[in-house]
Structure 1
């Protein structure tokens, strides 16, 4: 486990998992939001993102959590040796986004881009969740299975599996 791509719907626990995995493995963590957004919450220019993303993906070790532009997402999946798909139920993801929003009214969520609005970010997460079934579906699962021949692929389907994977530093058997 040297190059790890962690992905899934908004509010699925990717950030929590990636932080725990980085701590357990010592691998450098690159939250995708920190590459996509400036400190004020605005998107960086695509060229700036592509350059930063390419440098990270071509390095020897990394954990990247998030989705980002589709071409970068597939570039990451190709380059990674470990893929972790957090595929929680939609109701759980909606709840986690709502919980982050409610907490964020009082305290900025850890890792949230400086200057970004938790309300706007949460609204974007809700809009993205509504669109997710067009991407996170059986076709994607079939494509993900094609990577299993030469990569470690984990699909986390429940909060219990997610918690177990986090607490065991990525050593849990989830599928």
Structure 2
């Protein structure tokens, strides 16, 4: 377990899990949000994002959370040796996105791009969640399984701690 990809819908605890995993393994954690957005909260150019992403996945070890672009998503799947898909019930994703907004009134969430609007981010996350069933489906999981035949793939339905209540998709 040297190159770990953590992915799933917004508000599922990807960053929380990634940070814990980083502490336990000593592998550096990278949030895609921090390379996808500049200090003022604006998206960086596609070329700048892809260059930085390529640098990250070319490294010997990493933990990367987030989605990024569809191309970078598949590149990470190909480069990773371990995939962790966090897939909680939708109501939990919606609730945790809202909870993150409320908590941001006291302090900026760790890993949140500097200068990014929490309200815009929350609305974008809720919109993404509304559209998610069209993307996060059995066809996607079948494509992931096909590309990840020699990888360890964890599908977290609920997580109460590191790797708790997960089942292995790969054989």
| TM-score normalised according to structure 1 size | 0.92
Task: Kindly indicate which of the two structures has a greater share of residues assigned to helix.
Answer: 1
Show structure 1 runs of 4+ deviating over 3 A.
none
2:166 match: 174
1:22 match: 22
1:140 match: 140
1:164 match: 161
Aligned pairs (5 A) from 1:18-167: 18-158=18-158, 162-165=159-162
Gaps of 5+ in 1: none
Distance of 2:68 and 2:143 partners within structure 1: 18
Distance of 2:108 and 2:71 partners within structure 1: 30
Gaps of 5+ in 2: none
Distance of 1:148 and 1:60 partners within structure 2: 18
Distance of 2:149 and 2:110 partners within structure 1: 35
SS state at 1:121 partner: helix
Output the aligned Cα RMSD: 1.2
The number of residue pairs the alignment matches comes to: 167
138-147 or 120-129, larger mean C-alpha shift: 138-147
CA contact (8 A) 2:78 2:148 kept: no
Distance of 1:63 and 1:111 partners within structure 2: 14
Distance of 1:77 and 1:32 partners within structure 2: 14
Distance of 1:22 and 1:39 partners within structure 2: 24
SS state at 1:164 partner: coil
